[in-house]
Each structure stands twice: as structure tokens, then as C-alpha cells.
């Protein structure tokens, strides 16, 4: 699991401040902040005239494991941060960037050098004291030295990073020890030059900007005895749907997934403490609390932002929003053959199996409705209309609805329950978990198979049958990695792979295919509005405590056993949508998800969605992780102006309301426009289009310049949808599967010809017995009522 900070935004006004501290080991006078919960201490020292450098000190209570990270801004998107951790009897640290899967920051003018006397680990704690050269940039990635008071962030993990011997090789586990924000005072000292002179790149911990060593000559790859008509790389929503539809053709299909099983029915065993027959992914209410669950291994470790690496992909780690796409989501920017009239039949096929619901509880009741009561009355007073978002997907202006969730039978739904069992019932289908696809194996324009890596690090090539096809479905954060590794994409990115340390075998440079892989990266930014209820509406704004979802009482456990109650709901209590026409002639849409974090408080997360014009670029590092070359959020003036206008309209209405009042009297759209987090709803990095000049795949989803390589996931979407991406990804997958099947195959086989997959190979094949149907909690489930 990754160092995940993508959902974190801090309010500077509530930070505790720093105090003076003289470090006896180094003689450096710091301004130091101590976090009362984790015990983490961070100190900072600067010269009398602050320019671009500072000295920092991270002190973490530890028994030899864990790590600490200090962000140089309070907002983690695009921020630089210093990470440090104990490694046996030394400390390793460095400067990183990338708010989900951090990579060493390699700017030649910016570096971290440890100060030996203040860098050590003992039986009780670790200390990392360092000179950060060039780190005060005054940009969005760091703080400015022109103000006396700055705002920073921190995260603590109790588990050591994997490969902890150097900054360049380490992969960080989830920050389960705590996180938050704090304030620091920059107090300059004339002694700073003397202190800075004690820094040395050769001291304990070394420089954080080390480069990796190419391991290509040390990599051994075997060849599987099995071949397939179709190989699908990635068992997220798109991959599962495509694989199941391809299976219906009678041809042999192999579905590969780098992560583990998820739901209990598929063999997952990350069960909740109160019921050992459902996993944390099965229980809808846990969707808001997965980062605090006992198992946090569900996220990718090699992606630029949050992505699910387990069976079901993002549908297992999201908050269950199932926003059926509106007509404009396709008609505005999708090419011919992909307008709403073209894909509507695919949508109906999806909805017949995976419909979504605004009323998931089997007893027909809605629970914990304080936030809905308050916000619906507020919106109604503004003249907005109440709709059913499932039945009225084209109603997206000044409307609100009970949340549309992907929940069925009281459990998290999605293709893992609605498509995968159908595929597993077919003898021509195989699923292999913990099998990461590294690259498509190419012979010029023809794809002959894929190279994979197992959880043990073993590598193997799995070949296609004659006329076979490979479908990449790793998602917008991962499919570009496979394309880069296959010699497809911008030359600079492929060159990074070539000189990197992943040991990937690239085609000859003459066979590289220059396509805009990683371009057109788009995402939904999220802005948070918090309101207090007025005394008149306080009675309608009660809310359940978080502990009632993570450690529920027997009444709610009993209801869940009947597919009912608050545990059978996700965390949102109301959704709203609206739009406005911008000066550039584009209609921009907004979505809101509302809940109540505490009694008397209503929180709205406002998304800028369809019509947003900001875009970024995704690239790859020498260690094989994807990273943001350009951040995709809020980088056009028109997007900023639209957000300011919309947020002000809500805030101004609240100031004149008898139901809700803004928690901050000074909050405005202008003050909030920079305080956003990523929606992790990424699209566009292998965009579909009519020409290889501006697209990666054609309208059959085939990669330009190849004969039989396809991409079907959010990366091919040319535009952002009006709501969360899960439903539209599934609709596109249904339509794409039909497109691929319509191309036919030159294979002479007309019926399944199945060789047992991975015969004499080391790749694990997961085919759980008696798990072809989802486990539904019922009164007859042996432990559903008693195990709490």
C-alpha cells in the first residue's frame, strides 16, 4: 500500500503553533512543533534573511519500524515532502514528491543532506536532521519564506517501507499512525550558516536524490506452457466486464490482476471484527473507513495517485457512488460511434445486471438522515428540485437526490458480483491474482503475449494464440505504465524506462510507437463546504458517530444480517448537481455529496465535473511508478472563475438561510478555490480519437500502430463525466467489448480449446471453490448475528 495523502486538506486556522527548542546534539535552535497524538516532533531553522534553504529535524518515537513525513505545504497535491525512517542502526531520508506513490524528487537544484550529529536511531526514537537546499520554492509545491508563519502537514506510518535501504528503492505503506496539519514560525538566526555547514551528503542516511541501478541483466523470465485467445490485464470494473463478454464468444480468456481477492465470495479474508463471513470491502458503510481498517493493502504502490490494486479495482475502494452518465457526457467530446445513441444499448445491458439504487436497505427504510433533512430543506428553499438520480440521469441542474449507490443485497456491488461469477462459470475463463502485467510483448506491430510478475518477483511470458488479442484494463494510472514499458508513448518516457532499474525489455528503438500516452490527464477537483445548522433545524441534523460504523452495536449488526440498516448504506446522505455557463462558452457541471461529520454540522464536498478544461500529464519514473509530470487540476482561469462563482452562490444562500449557516463567516469562493483535493477520478491518459496525432486508441479501442493491442478503462475516456467515474467506466466497457468482438479473429479455432492455465508455471491461479455467487448476509448465515 502507498503513502496516501490524496484526500487530505488542512485548515490553517486551527493549527497549533511552534515553540523555541535548542537541540543539545547539534546546537541548532529550532522552532519546534510536537504532535500530541503521535509524538512526532518537527523543527525548522532559517537564516535571518530567508531565501531558498532551511534546516529541518524530524524526531519520531519508534521501536525500529515506521516512518514520518513532513509536507512543505498543508495541501498534499503536488507538494514536496521529506520522509525519514529507521533502517537497522541508521536513518534513511530524502525529499519526495507524488502525493500517493511518492518518488524521489530529482531536481538538480533541490537536495536534502543529513546533519550527522542530529541523525540517529536508538531504542526509543529516530532523529533525522537535514539541510534542505533549494526547498523553499514559494510555489504550490512548498511554502514561501516571505511570511513569518507557515502551514505544513505530517503523516506517520507504523510499518516500515518495503526496500528501506535507500530513498530511491523504498515503497511506503499507509500512514496508519496519524496525519494532520500544523503551523510553524520562521525565526531567523545569524548562526544559521554555521549550522548549515555541518551538513554532509555522505553522513548517515545519505542523500534522498540517489538514482537506481538497472537490474535488467539480473532478470530471468520463463515462458508459460499455456496460450490464450484473449488476455485481459487488470481485473477492475472494465477488465471484468470485458473479460466476461469475451468469454461468451467461446474463446479462451485469461484475466490477470496484480492484487488479491477482495470480497468474501471471491476468497478475500480481510473480514470485519464483528462478522467473519464478510470482508471490509463487502460492507457498504466501510467504504468511508477503509483507510482505518485492519488491512490496508488494497491500494497500488506504483501509481501517481490513489488506485485500487485488488480484485474489482476502484469499485472495491470507492465510496460506492453510481452516477449513471447523462447524454452530454458522451455527446460533447466522444468520437463518432461513441455518442449516447451508440452506447445507450450497452448502458441498458449494464443496468440490467448492475442497476444501482437510491434505497439499498431491504427493509425499505433510510437511516441516519439528519444531513439529508437539513440540506434538502436548504436546497428546496433555493428552488432546487428533488429527483431520483437513478431514474433521471439527465437531470443535472439545480437538483438533489438520495445518493445513488452501487449496492445490492445489502453488500457492495459492482462487476465482481454481477459479472465475474458468470465468467467463472465458463470453462474457457481463468483468473490469476497477484500477477502484475509489466508489458505487452511485441513483434513489430503485432502483440504476441504479455510479460507478468508474480508476488514473489518471478517473471513469465504468457503467449497469445494465433489471432489473439491483449486488452489493457489497468486504469488511467496504470495502463500508461504498461504502454511505456511496451515501447509505446512519448520518446522521453520510453527512454526513462530504457535507462531505469525495472529490467523491462523494450522493443528496438526503431519499433517504438510515438503516441500521446499520459497526455490529457483529467480529474475532478473537490472543494469542501462546512455548515452549522441553525437552532430551528438542529433537531433534524443528528448524525451517527464514526464508531457506530467501524464498531457497530448489535442492533445494527442484526439489521445488516437482513441486508438492512445503516451498515448497508455508504457514507453520503444526499447528492446534488447543478451547472453554469462560463464566459468561454462551456457549460460546467458541479456535483455535491453531503454528510454530517458531527451533530449539528453538515459537510458538502463539491466537485467540478463535466466541462472542466484543466488537464495534466502522466509520466513514468526510473523505478517504474507513474507520476504527474503536470498536475491535472485547476490550471485554467475559466475553471477557477466557475468554481468561485458556484461556491459563492451556495455560501451566499446559506448566509440568508434559516436552516444552514457557513461554519466560517469569512469563507468565500475566492478564499476556497485553492483549497481542493483530488477526486481520484482520473481519465484520458490513453485517449480515444480518430487520429494518432491526438489520441492513443481508435474507436475500436485498438492502440494506433498495433494490430491487436486494445485499452478499455478510464484512460481512453476523452472527457470527464458529470459524476463519479464508476458507472460510465462500466458502460464504456460494455460497448468496447462489443466493438472488440465485432472485429473477429483470424484464429482457426471455433470452439474453446483450453490448456490448463499456467501448467508447470509459478503463477498462482485463483479459482475459489463454492464462490461463484456473492455471499449475502442473512439470518441463516452462521456468524452474521453473533460475531461482533
CB atoms closer than 10 angstroms to residue 687:
27
Determine contact, residues 524/747, Cβ cutoff 8 Å: no
Mean pLDDT of 735-740: 98
Give me the chain's average pLDDT, please.
87
- 784 has a pLDDT exceeding 60: no
Q: Tell me which residue of 436, 460, 435, 384 sits closest to 659, measured CA to CA.
A: 384
Q: Looking at residue 562, what is its pLDDT? A: 98
| Across 9-32, average pLDDT | 72
Question: How is residue 412 written as a grid cell?
Answer: 457492495
Range of lowest pLDDT (16-30, 498-512, 616-630, 713-727): 16-30
Q: Which residues of 174-183 are buried (b: 16+ CB within 10 A; e: fewer)?
A: bbbbbbbbbb
d(CA 4, CA 680): 12
Q: pLDDT confidence of 778, banded at 50, 70, 90?
A: very low
Provide the pLDDT for residue 424. Answer: 98
- Range 707-732 average pLDDT: 98
- Rounded to an integer, what distance in angstroms lies between the CA atom of residue 255 and that of residue 471? 10
Q: Do domains 12-196 and 359-410+522-678 have the same CATH topology?
A: no
The CATH code belonging to domain 359-410+522-678 is: 3.30.410.10
Average pLDDT of 24-44? 91
pLDDT above 70 for 6: no
485-515 pLDDT per residue, tens? 999 999 999 999 999 989 999 999 999 999 9
Q: Is residue 281 within 8 Å of 570, Cβ to Cβ?
A: no
Closest CA to 618 of 635, 608, 630: 630
The phi-psi region of residue 643 (left if phi > 0; otherwise alpha if psi is between -120 and 50; otherwise beta) is: alpha
Query: Which sign does the torsion angle of CA 723, 725, 726, 729 carry?
Result: positive
Q: Can you give the pTM of this predicted structure?
A: 0.78
Predicted confidence at residue 100, as pLDDT, reads 57
Question: Rounded CA gap, 479 and 687, in Å?
Answer: 11
H-type alpha helices, 340-397 = 340-353, 370-381
Question: What average pLDDT does range 530-538 have in this prediction?
Answer: 79
pLDDT-wise least confident of 254-268, 434-448, 538-552, 566-580: 538-552
Q: Which residues, 6+ apart, have CB-to-CB distance to 64 below 8 Å?
A: 86, 88, 121
Chain position carrying cell 458480483: 417
**Spatial separation of the C-alpha atoms in residues 119 and 135, rounded to whole Å:** 19
CB 420 within 8 A of CB 237: no
Distance CA 571, CA 566 (A): 9
Helix H, strand E, coil C: the string for 653-693 is: HHHCCCCEEECCCCCCHHHHCCCEEECCCCECCCCECCCCC
Query: Hey, which bits of 273-333 come out as E strands?
Result: 275-279
79-106, pLDDT tens digit by residue?
888 999 998 888 999 988 865 567 788 7
User: C-alpha cell of 82?
Assistant: 521529506
pLDDT digits (tens, 9 = 90+) for 210-229: 345 454 444 678 999 999 99
Confidence of residue 327 (pLDDT cuts 50, 70, 90): very high
Residues 6+ apart with CB under 8 A from 327: 340, 394
Percent of the chain with pLDDT over 90: 66
Q: For residues 263 and 281, is the Cβ–Cβ distance under 8 A?
A: yes
pLDDT above 80 (res 42) = yes
C-alpha dist (Å) from residue 551 to 57, 544, 555, 719: 37, 12, 12, 40
> Is the pLDDT at 278 greater than 70, yes or no?
yes
* 424: enclosing H helix or E strand: helix 420-424
Model confidence at 519, pLDDT cuts 50, 70, 90, reads very high
Q: How is residue 694 annotated by DSSP?
A: T
Which runs of E-coded beta strand occur in 353-504?
385-386, 399-401, 407-408, 411-412, 429-432, 435-443, 446-454, 459-472
pLDDT in tens, 292-308: 787 878 888 888 888 99
Cell 508459460 identifies what position?
Answer: 224
Element (H, E) at 57: strand 54-61
- A 10 A CB-CB count for 642 gives 28
CA distance 272 to 289: 12
* pLDDT reading at 734 higher than 90: yes
DSSP element (H, E) containing 483 = helix 479-485
**C-alpha cell, 770:** 463454492
Is the distance from CB of 53 to CB of 122 less than 8 angstroms?
no
Q: Contact at 8 Å (CB) between 763 and 452?
A: yes
Is the CB of residue 673 less than 8 Å from the CB of residue 647?
yes
Sign of CA dihedral 767, 769, 772, 778: negative
Distance CA 474, CA 341 (A): 27
The Cα-based distances of 553 to 342, 547, 548, 559, 754 in angstroms read: 48, 9, 7, 10, 50
Catalytic choice (524, 681, 717, 735) = 681
- Residue 12, SS3? helix
Least confident of 153-162, 210-219, 623-632: 210-219
> Within the chain, how many helices (H) and strands (E) appear?
14, 35
Beta bridge pairs of residue 151 = 183
Distances (CA, A) of 539 to 374, 530, 535, 603: 9, 18, 8, 17
State the pairing for strand pair 601-608/275-279: unpaired
Which residue, chain included where needed, has cell 492502440?
Answer: 703
Helix (H, G, I), strand (E, B) or coil at 31: strand
**pLDDT over 60 at 125, yes or no:** yes
Q: Are 411 and 776 in contact (CB under 8 A)?
A: yes
Q: Is 631 left (phi over 0), alpha (psi -120 to 50) or beta?
A: beta
Confidence of residue 202 (pLDDT cuts 50, 70, 90): very low
The predicted pLDDT at position 753 comes to 36
Q: Using CA atoms, how far apart are residues 93 and 324, in angstroms rounded to an integer?
A: 45
Q: What distance in Å separates the CA atoms of residue 416 and residue 236, rounded to the nearest whole number?
A: 8
Query: 19: which residues sit within 8 A by CB, 6+ positions away?
Result: 31, 32, 33
For 767-787, give one letter per residue: b (16+ CB within 10 A) or e. eeeebeebbbbeeebeebbeb
681 has catalytic annotation: yes
Ranges of each domain in the chain: 12-196, 359-410+522-678
Q: Give CA–CA dist 60/178, Å, rounded.
A: 12
pLDDT at 427: 97
Average pLDDT over residues 624-646: 94
* pLDDT tens-digit readout, 357-408: 999 999 999 999 999 999 999 999 999 999 999 999 999 999 999 999 999 9
The b/e string for 68-89 (b: 16+ C-beta within 10 A; e otherwise) is bbbbbbbbbbbbbbbbbbbbee
Topology adopted by domain 12-196: Immunoglobulin-like (2.60.40)
Amino acid at each position: 500500500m502507498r503513502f496516501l495523502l490524496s484526500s487530505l486538506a488542512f485548515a490553517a486556522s486551527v493549527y497549533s503553533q511552534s515553540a523555541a527548542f535548542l537541540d543539545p546534539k547539534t546546537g541548532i535552535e529550532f522552532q519546534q512543533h510536537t504532535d500530541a497524538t503521535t509524538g512526532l516532533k518537527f523543527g525548522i531553522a532559517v537564516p535571518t534573511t530567508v531565501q531558498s534553504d532551511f534546516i529541518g529535524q524530524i524526531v519520531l518515537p519508534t521501536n525500529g519500524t515506521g516512518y514520518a513525513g513532513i509536507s512543505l505545504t498543508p495541501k498534499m497535491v503536488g507538494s514536496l515532502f521529506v520522509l525519514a525512517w529507521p533502517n537497522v542502526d541508521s536513518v534513511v531520508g530524502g525529499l519526495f514528491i507524488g502525493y500517493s506513490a511518492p518518488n524521489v524528487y530529482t531536481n538538480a537544484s533541490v537536495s536534502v543532506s543529513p546533519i550527522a550529529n542530529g541523525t540517529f536511531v536508538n531504542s526509543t526514537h529516530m532523529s533525522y536532521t537535514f539541510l534542505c537546499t533549494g526547498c523553499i520554492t514559494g510555489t504550490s509545491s512548498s511554502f514561501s519564506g516571505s511570511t513569518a508563519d507557515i502551514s505544513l502537514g505530517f503523516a506517520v506510518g507504523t510499518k516500515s517501507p518495503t526496500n528501506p535501504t535507500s530513498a530511491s528503492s523504498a515503497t511506503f505503506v499507509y500512514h496508519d499512525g496519524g496525519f494532520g496539519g500544523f503551523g510553524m514560525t520562521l525565526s531567523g538566526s545569524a548562526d544559521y550558516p554555521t549550522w548549515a555547514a555541518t551538513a554532509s551528503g555522505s553522513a548517515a542516511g545519505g542523500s534522498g536524490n540517489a538514482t537506481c541501478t538497472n537490474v535488467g541483466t539480473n532478470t530471468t523470465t520463463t515462458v508459460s506452457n499455456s496460450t490464450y485467445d484473449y488476455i485481459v490485464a487488470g481485473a477492475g470494473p472494465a477488465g471484468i466486464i470485458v473479460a466476461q463478454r469475451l468469454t461468451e464468444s467461446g474463446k479462451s480468456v485469461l484475466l490477470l490482476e496484480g492484487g488479491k481477492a477482495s470480497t468474501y465470495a471471491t476468497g478475500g479474508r480481510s473480514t470485519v471484527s464483528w462478522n467473519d463471513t464478510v470482508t471490509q470491502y463487502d460492507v457498504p458503510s466501510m467504504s468511508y473507513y477503509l483507510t482505518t481498517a485492519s488491512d490496508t493493502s488494497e491500494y497500488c504502490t506504483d501509481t501517481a495517485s490513489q488506485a485500487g490494486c485488488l480484485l474489482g479495482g476502484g469499485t472495491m475502494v470507492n465510496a460506492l457512488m453510481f452516477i449513471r452518465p447523462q447524454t452530454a457526457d458522451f455527446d460533447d467530446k466522444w468520437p463518432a460511434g461513441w455518442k449516447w445513441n451508440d452506447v445507450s444499448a450497452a448502458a441498458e445491458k449494464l443496468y440490467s445486471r448492475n442497476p444501482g439504487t437510491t434505497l439499498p436497505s431491504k427493509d425499505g427504510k433510510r437511516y441516519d438522515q439528519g444531513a439529508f433533512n437539513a440540506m434538502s430543506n436548504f436546497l428546496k428553499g433555493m428552488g432546487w428540485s428533488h429527483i431520483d438520480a437513478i431514474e433521471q440521469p439527465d437531470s443535472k441542474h439545480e437538483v438533489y437526490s438520495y445518493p445513488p449507490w452501487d449496492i445490492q443485497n445489502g453488500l457492495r456491488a459492482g462487476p465482481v458480483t454481477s459479472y465475474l461469477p458468470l465468467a467463472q462459470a465458463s470453462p474457457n475463463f481463468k483468473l490469476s491474482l497477484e500477477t502484475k502485467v509489466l508489458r505487452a510483448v511485441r513483434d513489430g506491430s503485432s502483440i504476441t503475449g504479455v510479460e507478468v510478475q508474480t508476488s514473489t518477483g518471478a517473471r513469465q511470458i504468457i503467449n497469445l494464440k494465433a489471432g489473439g488479442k491483449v486488452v489493457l484494463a489497468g486504469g488511467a494510472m496504470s495502463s500508461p505504465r504498461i504502454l511505456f514499458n511496451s515501447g509505446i508513448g512519448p520518446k522521453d518516457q520510453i527512454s526513462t524506462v530504457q535507462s531505469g532499474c525495472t529490467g523491462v525489455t523494450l522493443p528496438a528503438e526503431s519499433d517504438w510507437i510515438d503516441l500521446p500516452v499520459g497526455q490529457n490527464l483529467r480529474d475532478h477537483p473537490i472543494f469542501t463546504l462546512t455548515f452549522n445548522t441553525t437552532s430551528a433545524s438542529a433537531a433534524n441534523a443528528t448524525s451517527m458517530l464514526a464508531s457506530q460504523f467501524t464498531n457497530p452495536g448489535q442492533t445494527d449488526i442484526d439489521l445488516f444480517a437482513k441486508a438492512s440498516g445503516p451498515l448497508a448504506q455508504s457514507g453520503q446522505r444526499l447528492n446534488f448537481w447543478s451547472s453554469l455557463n462560463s464566459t468561454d462558452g462551456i457549460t460546467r457541471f458541479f456535483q455535491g455529496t453531503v454528510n454530517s461529520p458531527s451533530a449539528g454540522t453538515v459537510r458538502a464536498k463539491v466537485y467540478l465535473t463535466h466541462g472542466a478544461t484543466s488537464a495534466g500529464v502522466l509520466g513514468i519514473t526510473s523505478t517504474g511508478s507513474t507520476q504527474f509530470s503536470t498536475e491535472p487540476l485547476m490550471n485554467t482561469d475559466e475553471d477557477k472563475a466557475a468554481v468561485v462563482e458556484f461556491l459563492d452562490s451556495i455560501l451566499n444562500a446559506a448566509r440568508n438561510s434559516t436552516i444552514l449557516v457557513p461554519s466560517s463567516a469569512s469563507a468565500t469562493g475566492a478564499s476556497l478555490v485553492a483549497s481542493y483535493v483530488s477526486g481520484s477520478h482520473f481519465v484520458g491518459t490513453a485517449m480515444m480519437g480518430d487520429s494518432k496525432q491526438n489520441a492513443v486508441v481508435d474507436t475500436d479501442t485498438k492502440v494506433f500502430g498495433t494490430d491487436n493491442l486494445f485499452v478499455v478503462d478510464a484512460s481512453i475516456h476523452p472527457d470527464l463525466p458529470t459524476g463519479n467515474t464508476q458507472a460510465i467506466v462500466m458502460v464504456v466497457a460494455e460497448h468496447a467489448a462489443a466493438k472488440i468482438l465485432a472485429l473477429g479473429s483470424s484464429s482457426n479455432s471455433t470452439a474453446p480449446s483450453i490448456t490448463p492455465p499456467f501448467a508447470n508455471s509459478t503463477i498462482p491461479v485463483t479459482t475459489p471453490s463454492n464462490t461463484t455467487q456473492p455471499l449475502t448476509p442473512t439470518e441463516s448465515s452462521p456468524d452474521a448475528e453473533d460475531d461482533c
